[in-house]
Amino acid sequence: MKFAIATQDGATIATHGGRTRCFLLFDAETGAEPAAAGRLDLAEDMVLHLHGDGKPHPIDAVQVVIAGTSGQGFVNHMRRRGIEPVVTAESDPVQAIRDYFAGTVKPALAPEHPHAHHEGGHHHH
């Protein structure tokens, strides 16, 4: 499987996957260590946040995209492309992929929205 990990510094997972211009690419299978497979650098007008549905995009080559805290728009956009979005609190890309295969992804905190304050508690989907 191919994974794309949103990053800003080339080492740790960036938040806001929809605005990220750099993704680390990994090939990974269950039971094997993830193997780095290069980088995907996007032009300014190719960031997922701006890129409409239905148009081909380099990200389409991967099966899973992992990002830190990202909005629901990013998640929905990935799903429409047939890519599984993984939003995690983990900062290490390789560990996040290991977590994915182990079923132990550390959930990221939901982004704050000024109009929707949830006092305490966690909501489950």
* Per-residue pLDDT tens digits for 41-78: 999 888 887 777 678 899 999 999 999 999 898 999 99
Cα–Cα–Cα angle for 2, 35, 78, nearest 5°? 25
Distances from the Cα of 59 to the Cαs of 78, 82, 120, in angstroms?
A: 9, 11, 36
Residue whose structure tokens are 């990221």: 108
pLDDT at 117 (0 to 100): 45
pLDDT at 6 (0 to 100): 97
CATH of domain 2-102: 3.30.420.130
| 59 vs 90: CA distance, rounded Å | 21
What is the reported pTM?
Answer: 0.84
96 vs 44, higher pLDDT = 96
Contact 2, 83 (CB under 8 A): no
